[in-house]
């Protein structure tokens, strides 16, 4: 390759600020001038001999600069880049995203050649055409200095409208976005749209709704709009349509509430720009499902993480109406039983519009055993394990995916005649001790000795242990709403205000939120227990314990009640998650179910355990 810059390289960059691909442009070779370290990145002036443009190298080139592969006055070939405006200045900044080294440092800076000297033979006054010729220098043509912004504007004015739009709009993939970026534009399809919700807090009333956006790479992000922005964009956003979106903000996603796999979440405000891509070539993002087999749903029970499933519809009920307690509104609901190749079934409840639309279609097709793929389902402990749709859930009937074809082949060949069992059987704690208490049995040291447990998603285990300590001085309960059980505050005047129900109530309930230490033969750990589980541990309700402590003033009796609850053996079903405190991750162990020891079941479990140990010898 010739050791020279490309002719008019800077002009080519300015004319194509957002190239779709490197193949659309000829080779762009520039000379590196004024190379220096600025912060943690290297900046330079890109020169083609005529013009210069301020630029910055990608971070992966830092090692090449340190080792001397890239040098000041050297040549580089720019393969991919973007142009950004410099704030408060009419200049551009070249951000190089990919480049190659062409040459090490040259001896001098490359400069364009001076204008040619023109020789002319003017006629003298008293001289014939055959006389001696004189030499006259043609004056140097005056050069008008123009900034990069002026050149871009002139080029833009000469372009057709569609080309001008392409120059000003660079589409960023979702995976490249972060909270520290400036201007960006994304092209996404609306793959999920939540309902408009209202709220009331100390700052007043408002409304909010969420959407899920997917780009052509299948990357997803959740976007939230409040108040004016929510009212502005709620009708504009239509499920399945493609949009250009800009002027939004990003922040780190709250892991407890995020519903898509993205480290960031987006907020759109009243100044954000949302433009439907109706007259341009659109795309259909690949539907990304993370299917969970039916027999593996138990660990997700009552967790925040939503699941996707695919299965064969075995039956569908008629639609029914459920009266909501908060406002007495009738909500349509339809249940169906879905099975997969694990030979387990689960009840899926379709709510609201899904019950009337897709639910009716499935009701009509039920005798043909259609394949159904459902995204974003909540897992609850009703009937052991059950699934419910949310406002953002998506239901596809007979989807064109490999998993559906495999499932159809299995069902037609063997599944249709197989006996199926409900996945919830044996998973609900019973009064005499549940079968699930004898699955995933571990010791406390197995949990506390593995600090990474629960990092990605909650881990569930069964434990046989004693309550060894309940701190009498702790705040063991809170005032809860009688309707929704959420925490209430004392209202002005009288009564209690519930933020969830948005109403005052004259009375409230006391509900346990108790921390205790449990111990087994190999270790001990602090666990959290909520109302129902804490009642089984203490042996009375929070209301009764409060009366014992406050109304009767029987502190000794209160402490004796807690002491009686210790050193009693229980079977615990616990979840293990990771909480962050002072930038340090800690395990949080929560009691999900408590049952007394069923000695017959416990003996059978121990005999099975002994049998396994002897068979391994």
Q: Is the pLDDT score of 264 beyond 60? A: yes
Neighbouring-strand partners of residue 558:
none
Q: Is the pLDDT score of 234 beyond 90? A: yes
Average pLDDT value for residue range 254-261: 70
Return the pLDDT at 490.
87
Q: Phi/psi zone of residue 78: left (φ > 0), alpha (ψ -120 to 50 degrees), beta?
A: beta
Return the pLDDT at 158.
52
Calculate the CA dihedral of residues 161, 163, 164, 170 and round it to 10 degrees: 130
Q: Which residue would you say has higher pLDDT here, 423 or 361? A: 361
Average pLDDT value for residue range 51-61: 83
Q: State if pTM tops 0.85.
A: no
Residue 95 and residue 89: Cα distance in Å, rounded?
A: 17
Measured CA to CA in angstroms, residue 297 lies from 294, 413, 553, 585 at distances of 6, 25, 47, 26
- Do the Cβ atoms of 311 and 291 come closer than 8 Å? no
Residue 17 and residue 82: Cα distance in Å, rounded?
A: 6
pLDDT band of residue 181 (cuts 50, 70, 90) is: confident
Return the pLDDT at 274.
93
Q: Which residue would you say has higher pLDDT here, 182 or 219? A: 219
Q: Which residue would you say has higher pLDDT here, 428 or 296? A: 296
Return the pLDDT at 89.
57
pLDDT tens, position by position, 348-378: 999 988 898 899 999 999 889 999 999 889 9
Average pLDDT value for residue range 171-195: 84
- Do the Cβ atoms of 487 and 479 come closer than 8 Å? yes
Average pLDDT value for residue range 214-220: 83
Residue 532 and residue 31: Cα distance in Å, rounded?
A: 72
pLDDT tens, position by position, 274-313: 999 876 656 656 557 889 999 888 778 777 788 999 999 9
Q: Where is average pLDDT lowest: 469-473, 498-502, 542-546? A: 498-502
pLDDT tens, position by position, 537-594: 999 999 888 888 876 566 778 888 899 999 999 999 888 988 877 777 888 999 988 8
Q: Is the pLDDT score of 412 beyond 80? A: yes
pLDDT band of residue 21 (cuts 50, 70, 90) is: low
Return the pLDDT at 166.
44
pLDDT band of residue 239 (cuts 50, 70, 90) is: confident
Average pLDDT value for residue range 94-104: 85
* Percentage above 70 pLDDT, the chain: 82
Return the pLDDT at 457.
76
Best mean pLDDT range from 148-162, 529-543, 582-596: 529-543
- Do the Cβ atoms of 268 and 274 come closer than 8 Å? yes
Return the pLDDT at 86.
61
Return the pLDDT at 125.
45
What beta strand segments (E) does 520-583 contain? Answer: 524-530, 569-581
Residue 303 and residue 285: Cα distance in Å, rounded?
A: 28
Q: Is the pLDDT score of 110 beyond 80? A: yes
Q: Is the pLDDT score of 337 beyond 50? A: yes
Return the pLDDT at 518.
94
Return the pLDDT at 362.
92
- In 3-state terms, the chain is what percent helix, strand and coil (to 5)? 20, 35, 40
pLDDT band of residue 70 (cuts 50, 70, 90) is: confident
Residue with tokens 């720019």: 78
* Mean predicted lDDT score pLDDT of the chain: 80
Q: Is the pLDDT score of 322 beyond 70? A: yes
Best mean pLDDT range from 33-47, 50-64, 464-478: 464-478
Residue 347's CB is within 10 A of a number of other CB atoms, namely: 20
Q: Is the pLDDT score of 20 beyond 70? A: no
Measured CA to CA in angstroms, residue 108 lies from 1, 72, 73, 81, 104 at distances of 19, 10, 7, 26, 12
Q: Is the pLDDT score of 428 beyond 50? A: no
pLDDT band of residue 407 (cuts 50, 70, 90) is: very high
Return the pLDDT at 161.
45
Return the pLDDT at 435.
41
- Do the Cβ atoms of 472 and 556 come closer than 8 Å? no
Residue 254 and residue 343: Cα distance in Å, rounded?
A: 36
Return the pLDDT at 40.
62
Return the pLDDT at 145.
46
- Do the Cβ atoms of 514 and 528 come closer than 8 Å? yes
* Percentage above 90 pLDDT, the chain: 24
Residue 480's CB is within 10 A of a number of other CB atoms, namely: 21
pLDDT band of residue 23 (cuts 50, 70, 90) is: low
Q: Where is average pLDDT lowest: 57-71, 76-90, 120-134, 501-515? A: 120-134
H/E element, 358: helix 358-365
51, exposed or middle or buried, with CB in 10 Å at 0-12, 13-18, 19+? buried
Q: Which residue would you say has higher pLDDT here, 604 or 476? A: 476
Long-range (24+ apart) CB contacts under 8 A made by 537-545 are 537/467, 537/470, 537/565, 537/570, 537/591, 537/594, 538/470, 538/512, 538/514, 538/562, 538/565, 539/564, 539/565, 541/510, 542/476, 542/477, 542/509, 542/510, 542/511, 542/512, 543/509, 543/510, 545/476, 545/477
């Amino acid at each position: 390759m010739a050791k020279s810059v490309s002719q008019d390289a800077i002009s080519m960059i300015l004319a194509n600020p957002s190239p779709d691909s490197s193949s659309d442009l000829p080779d762009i070779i520039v000379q590196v001038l004024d190379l220096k370290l600025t912060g943690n990145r290297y900046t330079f002036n890109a020169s083609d001999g005529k013009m210069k443009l301020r630029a910055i190298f990608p971070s992966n080139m830092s090692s090449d600069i340190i080792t001397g592969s890239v040098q000041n006055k050297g040549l580089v070939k720019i393969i991919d880049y973007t142009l950004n405006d410099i704030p408060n200045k009419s200049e551009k900044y070249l951000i190089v995203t990919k480049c190659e080294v062409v040459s090490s440092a040259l001896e001098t800076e490359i400069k364009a050649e001076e204008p040619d000297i023109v020789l002319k033979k003017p006629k003298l006054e008293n001289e014939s055409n055959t006389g001696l010729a004189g030499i006259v220098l043609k004056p140097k043509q005056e050069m008008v200095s123009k900034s990069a912004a002026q050149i871009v504007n002139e080029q833009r004015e000469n372009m057709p409208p569609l080309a001008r739009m392409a120059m000003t709009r660079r589409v960023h993939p979702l995976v490249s976005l972060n909270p520290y970026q400036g201007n960006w534009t994304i092209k996404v399809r609306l793959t999920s749209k939540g309902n408009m919700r209202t709220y009331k807090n100390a700052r007043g009333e408002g409304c909010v709704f969420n959407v899920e956006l997917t780009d052509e790479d299948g990357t997803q992000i959740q976007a939230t709009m409040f108040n004016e922005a929510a009212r502005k964009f709620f009708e504009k956003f239509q499920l399945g349509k493609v949009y250009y979106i800009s002027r939004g903000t990003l922040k780190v996603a709250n892991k407890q509430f995020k519903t898509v796999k993205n480290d960031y979440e987006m907020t759109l405000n009243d100044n954000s720009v949302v433009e439907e891509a109706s007259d341009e070539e659109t795309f259909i993002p690949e539907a990304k499902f993370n299917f969970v087999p039916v027999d593996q749903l138990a660990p997700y029970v009552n967790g925040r993480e939503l699941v996707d499933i695919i299965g064969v519809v075995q039956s569908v009920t008629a639609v029914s109406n459920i009266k909501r307690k908060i406002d007495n509104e009738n909500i349509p609901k339809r249940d169906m039983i879905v099975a997969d190749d694990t030979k387990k079934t689960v009840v899926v409840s379709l709510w609201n519009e899904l019950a009337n639309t897709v639910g009716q279609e499935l009701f009509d097709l039920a005798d043909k055993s259609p394949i159904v793929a459902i995204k974003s389902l909540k897992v609850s402990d009703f009937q052991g394990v059950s699934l419910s749709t949310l406002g953002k859930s998506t239901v596809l009937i007979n989807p064109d995916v490999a998993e559906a074809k495999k499932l159809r082949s299995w069902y037609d060949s063997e599944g249709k005649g197989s006996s199926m069992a409900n996945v919830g059987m044996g998973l609900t704690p019973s009064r005499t001790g549940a079968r699930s208490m004898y699955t995933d049995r571990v010791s406390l040291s197995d949990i506390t000795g593995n600090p990474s447990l629960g990092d990605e998603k909650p881990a569930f285990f069964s434990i046989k242990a004693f309550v060894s300590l309940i701190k009498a001085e702790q705040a063991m309960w809170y005032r809860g709403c009688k309707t929704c059980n959420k925490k209430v505050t004392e209202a002005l005047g009288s009564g209690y205000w519930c933020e969830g129900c948005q109403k005052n109530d004259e009375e409230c309930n006391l509900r346990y939120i108790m921390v205790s230490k449990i111990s087994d033969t190999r270790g001990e750990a602090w666990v959290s227990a909520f109302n129902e589980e804490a009642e089984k541990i203490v042996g009375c309700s929070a209301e009764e314990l409060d009366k014992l402590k406050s109304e009767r003033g029987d502190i000794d009796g209160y402490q004796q009640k807690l002491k009686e609850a210790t050193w009693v053996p229980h079977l615990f079903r616990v979840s293990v998650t990771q909480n962050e405190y002072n930038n340090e991750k800690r395990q949080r162990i929560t009691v999900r179910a408590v049952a007394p020891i069923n000695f017959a079941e416990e003996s059978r479990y121990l005999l099975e355990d002994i049998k396994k140990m002897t068979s391994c010898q």
